[in-house]
């Protein structure tokens, strides 16, 4: 592995891992009120485009990082929508 790819993989690991605590917190507390639906929608779209870019240019660090990041971002987005709906249903 060349140094450029090593930096890419390390950057991918660190930035992707940063989503784990947030996803676990939301999952455990079932509270996503502090999460912006708009931000995570736009962010997930951007990550999907980065994933497409990684596929098109054949960059494994970009591709792998964005597969995992998209999983976490979409998970957070789904939990946001689900838990907000549940909360609205409880208020009725």
CB 26 within 8 A of CB 34: no
Tell me: the pLDDT tens digits for 16-69? 899 899 999 999 999 999 999 999 999 999 999 999 999 999 988 889 889 999
User: CA-CA distance, 51 to 57, in Å (whole number)?
Assistant: 10
pLDDT for position 90: 81
pLDDT for position 92: 62
Give me the domains of the chain, ranges plus CATH numbers.
3-91 (1.20.1280.290)
Q: What is the pTM of this model?
A: 0.82
């Amino acid at each position: 592995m060349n140094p450029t790819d090593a930096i890419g993989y390390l950057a991918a690991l660190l930035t992707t891992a940063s989503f784990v605590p947030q996803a676990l917190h939301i999952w455990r507390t079932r509270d996503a009120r502090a999460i912006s639906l708009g931000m995570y929608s736009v962010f997930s779209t951007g990550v999907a485009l980065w994933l497409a870019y990684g596929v098109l240019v054949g960059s494994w660090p970009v591709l792998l990082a964005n597969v995992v990041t998209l999983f976490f971002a979409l998970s957070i987005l789904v939990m946001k929508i689900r838990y907000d709906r549940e909360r609205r249903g409880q208020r009725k």
